Structure 1
Amino acid sequence: MSGARVGRVLALAAATSLALAACAGGGGAGGGDASTVKIGFMGDLTGEGSAIVIPPFNGAKMAIDEYNAKSPKVKIELVKYDSQGKSEQATSLIAQAINTDKITALIGPAFSGESKAIGGTLEESKIPSISPSATNFALADRGWKFWHRVVANDNDQGPKIAEFLHAAKSPKKVFVLSDEQEYSVGLAETVAKTFNQKGVQVETDKFSKDASDYSSTVTKVKSANPDLIFFGGYYAQAGRLLKALRDDNVNTLFATGDGSLDKQLISGAGEKAAEGAVIACPCNIPSSEASGASKTFFENYKKSAGTDPAIYSTEGYDAATAYIKAVEAGKTTSEDINTFLSTLSFEGVSKPIKFKPNGEPENNSIFVYKVQGGVVKLLGPSVSAKLEG
């Protein structure tokens, strides 16, 4: 074969290779036809908050696996990014996700602090995101057009759990605690504000999320002798705090928010100490007694993940489904998907899914749970749940 002919063959092969690569690539922000769309999932998958994040990841994976099993024209690839809930780690990972992996969209970040840290980068890169679990209310006030969530924020959760507790227990004095994490501070502030508005005396305190000694906080709470204690934060800190309170014979009703809705609250505090703790969540976790779509989800999730649904399993599924519906409608670029999300409306497993112009969900129901007999049990929606004892 002559040198000229070899050159022509190599040139043809190179052109073919480039064409195939273009066809196989993800939609990306730039656009073009795609045979595969890459969607990232970011959150704490191995750190101390992973019990809140693995369930929505499993839900998202289940939705995408179900979609890909239908052999669609455009498949979806789910790419994991384990931020461990750390803002600095999320910042590094999103650069990789956008510049190297060329994701088209993101499910997450799971937590509020990391959502705040990378929201601007997602906005500048025009990458749509849907968080299944970040609840800090201020995230919706940044003017981001590519940011969304399928969960009610703390301006919904905080007042509604405070109103529920006020109606159930009529406390005259409440002690509200937080650590320095974005989510914790935001939720604690909204709860304290609501109790204040109802004429309840409120005292507050804040401690480090990495604290190992809670004696100072416990002393302050004990001295205040409140009728109710509320902690805005995650189960890792809530478990240790609750144990310290009970060890010092502070047996006041303990309430907390969605970040503590996991069995590790019980294992962290001890079953006896955790008994009676009240937990709020903008999530309705399907149980084995569920019916209809919730029952179907429960059975399919258990088969897919090998465990029962947990906090934000359904929200992860619905976030993924929102993107699936966009791809099914022929939207494979980041900007086209984002535009599609503004018109989206469907009956999700967690709730009806529809986004407001600022990315907030239209539906903002809050549910109340209680630790009873060593397990977390649903009492019902905050507007109708009853707190016995």
Structure 2
Amino acid sequence: MRRKYVRALSTAALATVMVAAAGCQDSGSEGGEAAECGGKIAIFGAFSGDNAGLVLPSLNGAELAVKQHNEANADCQVTLQRFDTQGDPAVATPFANQIAGDQSFLGVIGGHFSGETDATMPIYEAAGLAMISPSATRLDLTSKGNKSFFRVVGHDGTQAAAVATYMKAQNAQRVFAVDDGSAYGAGITAELGTALGPLMAGTDKIQERQAQFDATISKIKAANADYVFYGGYVREAAPLVRQMRSAGVTAKFVGPDGLYDPAFAEGAAGGAEGAIITCPCIPADKAGGSFTEDYQAEYGIAPGSYGGEGFDGAQIYLDAFKDGKQTRADILAFVKAYDKQGVSKYIKFAENGDVDPSRVVIWAYEIKGTAITPLQELKLN
């Protein structure tokens, strides 16, 4: 399954190479003078590395939107340039400085992970660049007063509340939470603890790239947990759950959208069977319009995590270009006022940059073999 993602990425790269440069002319302007239409957008995230499977569907969705736009608008061409951060804030920051300093970039899609997003937000704000994230969910990203950051997904407070409601409905008695200490993992785990209250039986933290989890597993056993929640990403989650099962731990394993990656089940070698993954991203068959069919035709695989959200992030900019916006300031104002149905949800932003909370949807998915299968939509309270 990983090979399919790589193949999809290669196909998407060809689509990017084929797009034309910015600044095409529209001969239909008033007075017969040519009016500029089109422009250049940057997209950044973990397009390679251990956790890339979570991000590639979003990249593909954005590139599909741009390709379709360019095919339908010969006089309004758009270029989408990718920057591979591998999800590392230290890599994302110099890219952000490069993008901000290049006046040909009129908007940014990303970050995809919360850490790289937090690190680069001030750079883009200072440059007057709109920044639309398809998947950065940490709650406090929209409480920092940033005036150029927007996200098309619900935040971790909403997701954690939905997870807590789900666990209570499943009659969970003792929940043990583990997180990786990342901006994302620690944040959503803390939110879950608040939502669960006395049902939280214990917590532990692991290290990035940790490979052995004996100490954590001993704590889980001592807590007699019937549910284990893991806040973090695939790289550590897969060996953790595999070792849990080898050690005889039968507690139900639950993780948020950071685990929505085929590599999780593959790396767990059967240990992830029946695990629950939650995500503020919709199943492929719930996407609007012909998005799912178009994505399948383009990449030979159904859209995974945040494919529709990546498409929507790009579409906002495409709509801005079609509306004649040609400066960073005008595009930023357009994004702030955006009010339109997308393929993932209706998109309208609150003053702080969060998508309208009444439109947020959280789904639970179940691991069956190596497939991530939609299970049910979760209640938000």
Q: TM-score range by the shorter chain?
A: 0.7 to 0.9
SS in 2 for 1:346: strand
Would you say the 8 A contact 1:366–1:381 is kept in 2?
Answer: yes
Specify the alignment match of 2:299 in structure 1: 305
Query: 1:326-360 CA distances to partner (integer Å, 9 max, x unpaired)?
Result: 11111121111111112211111111111111110
Change (3 A) 1:34 1:91: farther
Specify the alignment match of 2:178 in structure 1: 177
Change (3 A) 1:228 1:81: same
- Letter in structure 2 aligned against 1:231: Y
Would you say the 8 A contact 1:285–1:314 is kept in 2?
Answer: no
1:366 aligned to 2:362?
yes
Specify the alignment match of 2:84 in structure 1: 82
Would you say the 8 A contact 1:195–1:202 is kept in 2?
Answer: no
Query: 1:166-199 CA distances to partner (integer Å, 9 max, x unpaired)?
Result: 112x222210110111100011111111111xx3
Specify the alignment match of 2:118 in structure 1: 116
- Letter in structure 1 aligned against 2:112: A
- Letter in structure 2 aligned against 1:79: Q
Q: Whole-Å Cα distance in 1 between the matches of residues 201 and 191 of structure 2?
A: 12
> Offset at 1:383?
2.2
Specify the alignment match of 1:285 in structure 2: 283
Q: Whole-Å Cα distance in 2 between the matches of residues 334 and 194 of structure 1?
A: 40
Say which of 308, 329, 336 aligns to 2:330: 336
Q: Whole-Å Cα distance in 1 between the matches of residues 102 and 300 of structure 2?
A: 32
- Letter in structure 2 aligned against 1:338: L
* Divergent runs of 4+, >6 A: none
Alignment of 1:4-19 (within 5 A): none
Specify the alignment match of 1:187 in structure 2: 188
> Offset at 1:72?
4.4
Change (3 A) 1:201 1:118: closer
Would you say the 8 A contact 1:160–1:366 is kept in 2?
Answer: yes
Q: Whole-Å Cα distance in 2 between the matches of residues 202 and 221 of structure 1?
A: 9
Q: Whole-Å Cα distance in 2 between the matches of residues 201 and 98 of structure 1?
A: 43
SS in 1 for 2:105: coil
Q: Whole-Å Cα distance in 1 between the matches of residues 292 and 23 of structure 2?
A: 37
Specify the alignment match of 2:32 in structure 1: none
Would you say the 8 A contact 2:265–2:369 is kept in 1?
Answer: no
Q: Whole-Å Cα distance in 1 between the matches of residues 303 and 220 of structure 2?
A: 35
SS in 2 for 1:356: coil
Would you say the 8 A contact 1:285–1:313 is kept in 2?
Answer: no
Say which of 155, 166, 169 aligns to 1:167: 169
Alignment of 1:158-307 (within 5 A): 158-168=160-170, 170-196=171-197, 199-271=198-270, 273-287=271-285, 293=288, 296-307=290-301
- Letter in structure 2 aligned against 1:210: R
Larger radius of gyration: 1
Query: 1:132-167 CA distances to partner (integer Å, 9 max, x unpaired)?
Result: 000001100111111000011001101111111111
1:383 aligned to 2:357?
no
Q: Whole-Å Cα distance in 2 between the matches of residues 255 and 373 of structure 1?
A: 16
Specify the alignment match of 2:59 in structure 1: 57
SS in 2 for 1:293: coil
Specify the alignment match of 1:345 in structure 2: 339
Q: Whole-Å Cα distance in 2 between the matches of residues 176 and 200 of structure 1?
A: 11
Alignment of 1:90-169 (within 5 A): 90-100=92-102, 102-168=104-170
- Letter in structure 1 aligned against 2:172: P
> Offset at 1:100?
3.9
- Letter in structure 2 aligned against 1:126: G
Percent identity over paired residues: 32
Q: Whole-Å Cα distance in 1 between the matches of residues 352 and 266 of structure 2?
A: 38
Change (3 A) 1:202 1:236: same
Q: Whole-Å Cα distance in 1 between the matches of residues 241 and 235 of structure 2?
A: 10
Would you say the 8 A contact 1:55–1:310 is kept in 2?
Answer: yes
SS in 2 for 1:249: coil
Would you say the 8 A contact 1:192–1:202 is kept in 2?
Answer: no
- Letter in structure 1 aligned against 2:214: S
